[in-house]
Structure 1
């Protein structure tokens, strides 16, 4: 047999070219972001039987609408392509407006959502808080005694939830010699892992001199730690918590998955893969104040706290205030500070779950951007999502 395989014809590269060392790089990420389980150990989150998902629905005329980005009008369709979008699902008032998929992503496929996983993990925390199982104000060491002597030794779960731990750690995504690279080896996301578990890595981290709670510091290990705290508080594996407390009560139509480390610890900071429709269902549940199809999933008080509380001062002292100048961060969700009351979950490489309460719109955007963080493009995406919310 000679010539290109079906895989190479469809993707533009061979399957054996995609390795643990390059799976987050373009062009390989167009495939790997939908097939994480082929590269990293992953656990399946089985959805409750609900019958088949409704067929894909075309966004139709919305794709031809224009938005002004970078001082020039651009169609929705053109921006989706320029921003490396793989899938887009839009809901309004609880009803599906439509879906859009890039040629390399099929309807019904799962896609990694990276740090939107943090937002989903926090929902599970809110559910357990409502059940009296988890106390967000408790010291970390009350759940994880081995964190004593680490940066978390005098931190609370609230500091973990709001990213205000004074942690000596940087999100150096592209530095192969950094502490972040060691972190990724512990998660089995980079070559060379398997000698240190995620939990062992987390409890080795040290703190800065500044007190906890004063500055928003985006540090992913906090969110992996949150998953561990929920396991210790409940006595259950996080994968079971996610299935029984969120995924099935939500009415998710498809299975999800989450990457795990050498000990089976879930990568709650960034390892979840879900379908666009199910991600939109999470957003709609939040928009409905914590209910899905009339079922209470998470306490309304927790949703209200998540979308309105948080320290504006800590946010302003942090490094992301440029994105939402009037924003806040609470329970691993971003408040935009816009008059619409919009809030969102965000993941690297262009993952967004955007909820606009005023327009009753939910938008799930999944992407394979070449760079993990692209500040100018992120600014355009915020403008785009706001405009799309008003068009839908």
Structure 2
């Protein structure tokens, strides 16, 4: 009897291996190579690794955001950096424990520290995940300044005829940027689901414009990708040109950044403005410096005057969120992406020391902190940290700057002060 059972298992195992091999030959490998289209390729790649951070091939096709001649950051000369070297050592050690790929710190506009892990370098490209979202907010400011849009309070339906006659008519551009459009995010990941149509489908315009409504506009906060993607669609329709070209013209080239790459739903299709631009690591430190200085960099106003003030104004739906960026208005021990979802949040073990801090947050604990009053920009890239705490790095460096002394608290600079100093330097 035992021999018969073993022979049966052997036969079953053999046929199981044959079936797996056939599936691999007829389904997985052709899909992985793109023979069955973009959707199938992305789906099988996401199954074979971390679906939140898939292999680079998942992101093809992409659209170029042309940069210009990169100007290296000016670094502090050895021995002149006033922050205690032990602070950088402590920060780098903690970052390494949190599976970081990089930790870059700017102080007073100069490169103060850079640690790179896992064979990464300043020019290494990474998926920015939701750091990408802030770029749409910046371009809305440019679109208004250029006369393509009336104001941020203009109905999104003015640019979306698909929304002109339904319940979405009342959603404004501000609502979308504040993550308060009332658009419903779903989390079903089976083939053909609405979620996958929005993340890896080949028509993300239709998939996002058809998303459901769960709350009146402006009343409920939910860090949901459809808000950011629809805002990007609005920008592209308002300006009448490719989003990537406008981003290059208005921000990427003026900042002197390296070429970047936006994720496309298909060749010549719509770019993702909700996620996943690939750029050089160091370039985001420059973006942070420009945001911290109210849109000025190297003597040039690269973001319209006054627009960063709009971006950092607390929204009615969430005082810790502005326009596609996070604020430190009040302390939340667990900062949630959606108040109704318990498992999605980030630890903040203590309040931010600096009350003017604002920051960008991307999956995998990609972070860009900006602290105008201490003239600090802190960039961290990498994978999800096992004990990630959003209070650690900004508070460590804020306290380090405060310990230098020599300036009373009432004379700490504001973004307006930094903007004026930047413009005068040009």
Shorter-normalised TM range: 0.7 to 0.9
Q: Distance in 1 between matches of 2:94 and 2:144?
A: 40
Q: Structure 1 pair 202/308, CA: closer, same or farther in 2 (3 Å)?
A: closer
Q: Distance in 1 between matches of 2:256 and 2:355?
A: 27
The one of the two structures with greater contact order (alpha-carbon pairs below 8 A, sep at least 6) is 1
Q: Distance in 1 between matches of 2:108 and 2:76?
A: 18
2:209–2:230: 8 Å Cα contact kept in structure 1?
A: no
1:176-224 residue CA offsets vs partner (Å, 9 max, x unmatched): 2499x63334442xxxx44xx100101211212x321112111111111
User: What aligned pairs does 1:53-202 form with structure 2 within 5 A after superposition?
Assistant: 64-65=86-87, 75-134=90-149, 135-148=151-164, 152-170=168-186, 172=187, 175-177=188-190, 182-188=194-200, 193-194=201-202, 197-202=203-208
2:137–2:311: 8 Å Cα contact kept in structure 1?
A: no
1:335 matched to 2:350? The reply is: no
1:147-182 residue CA offsets vs partner (Å, 9 max, x unmatched): 346663331111111111112324x3xx52499x63
| Structure 1, unpaired ranges of 5+ | 1-14, 67-73, 316-326
SS of 1:298's equivalent in the other structure is coil
Per-residue deviation, 1:332: 0.7
Q: Structure 1 pair 148/83, CA: closer, same or farther in 2 (3 Å)?
A: farther
Structure 1 range deviating more: 274-283 or 161-170: 161-170
2:197–2:207: 8 Å Cα contact kept in structure 1?
A: no
1:274 matched to 2:279? The reply is: yes
Q: Distance in 2 between matches of 1:201 and 1:230?
A: 17
Q: Distance in 2 between matches of 1:351 and 1:151?
A: 35
Per-residue deviation, 1:82: 2.3
1:344–1:354: 8 Å Cα contact kept in structure 2?
A: yes
TM-score w.r.t. the length of structure 1 is: 0.76
Matching residue of 2:17 = none
1:58–1:98: 8 Å Cα contact kept in structure 2?
A: no
Matching residue of 2:381 = 366
| Structure 2, unpaired ranges of 5+ | 1-31, 34-41, 330-351, 402-426
Q: Structure 1 pair 52/164, CA: closer, same or farther in 2 (3 Å)?
A: closer
Per-residue deviation, 1:53: 7.1
User: What aligned pairs does 1:293-332 form with structure 2 within 5 A after superposition?
Assistant: 293-311=298-316, 314-315=317-318, 327-332=319-324
1:58–1:100: 8 Å Cα contact kept in structure 2?
A: no
2:129–2:275: 8 Å Cα contact kept in structure 1?
A: yes
1:294-337 residue CA offsets vs partner (Å, 9 max, x unmatched): 111112311112223422xx21xxxxxxxxxxx42111111112
Matching residue of 1:44 = 64
SS of 2:176's equivalent in the other structure is helix
Give 1 or 2: higher helix fraction.
2
SS of 2:378's equivalent in the other structure is strand
Q: Distance in 1 between matches of 2:264 and 2:78?
A: 35
1:110-136 residue CA offsets vs partner (Å, 9 max, x unmatched): 111111111122111112222222231
SS of 1:354's equivalent in the other structure is strand
Out of 255, 259, 273, the residue aligned to residue 255 of structure 1 is 259
SS of 2:60's equivalent in the other structure is coil
TM-score w.r.t. the length of structure 2 is: 0.70
The aligned length equals 334
Q: Distance in 2 between matches of 1:167 and 1:329?
A: 17
1:223–1:269: 8 Å Cα contact kept in structure 2?
A: yes
